[in-house]
Amino acid sequence: MSAVVTGAGRALPATYEQSAVWREYFAPRYEGVRAAERVFMAAGVTTRHAVVYPGDEDLADAGTEARMLRYVAEAMPLGKQAVAGALDAAGLAPGDVGLFAVASCTGYVTPGLDIRLAQDLGMPAGLQRLLVGHMGCYAALPGLGAVGDYVSARSRPAVLLCLELTSLHVQPAVPELEQVVNHSLFSDAAAAVVVEPGAPRGRRIAATVARTDYATADHMTWDVTDLGFRMGLSPRVPDVLSRHVGGVVDELLTGAGLRIEDVAGWAVHPGGPRILDVVRDQLGLAEEQMSASRRVLAEHGNCSSATVLLVLEELADVDGPVVAMAFGPGLTLYATLLLPA
């Protein structure tokens, strides 16, 4: 039984201007750091979203416990809105869902968001649940693979929710350009998809390929500290991706009897402008084929695991095969092939 994505929903907190957050909050904290403003404004981000706007409320010195309490309070309404929107788009009720999967790396709580949201939404007590934690920006794709396998094996619908609140993890300023990059990119969002068995419309989850370069595990980190979670992001990440992206895509497409030129849409996780440049150049794509990813980066920033689902929404009207790609700690690449149902 094929697993088909039949509905999508999103929820976004308040929007703010990239230039405003630099001017109102980060500029005085990075005063004297050479090239800080240039690096911040070169992130490819014009607007992004936050449950906590640092210009109004500074969490830099808040403890992890306070941030996790805020995570629960802010995540619940966003998650509920995104899942309800996806179910409505698919024409399903909460009681139809057999598996509910939640991916998030920006907060922890037990009972988890999966249980709390399932109760609020009225999902059945016999619901199966899956929590995909701390995988980072690529988590949507293994999550999609897991719910797709469930749908194929059990012939019941499933929902995947990716919910990230990176604004809760603003860090005390230190004179490092790496931290400037981190603060320039990340944003908050919730995105959900419904996957159904054998549906005649939508996109079928055809294949998933993963690759982890264990030798570069220290290039991207997400450490739990007493002051929230701290991102480590090496400038060498695009170079590592350049060595692997071609092989991953070749493996993904060859298994389906396709070539790069057969792909109608590319949903590439916009980890930053250089990431998109590397994918474009290594695969020999036209700049236009990166437009959906660049648009999401500009309008929403990097929303960690939710981002690739936002890019897939941008490609909703594309007719033909679509490749979704995302990257994260490990250093790990994931690619998923979606075909018309």
Region of 65 on the Ramachandran plot (φ > 0 left; ψ -120 to 50 alpha; else beta): alpha
What separation in angstroms does the CA of 299 have from each of 116, 196, 291, 340? 30, 30, 12, 27
Count CB neighbours of 226 within 10 A.
7
Tokens of residue 235, six digits: 């400038």
Tokens of residue 272, six digits: 């930053």
Annotation says 137 is catalytic: yes
d(CA 168, CA 194): 28
List active site positions: 137
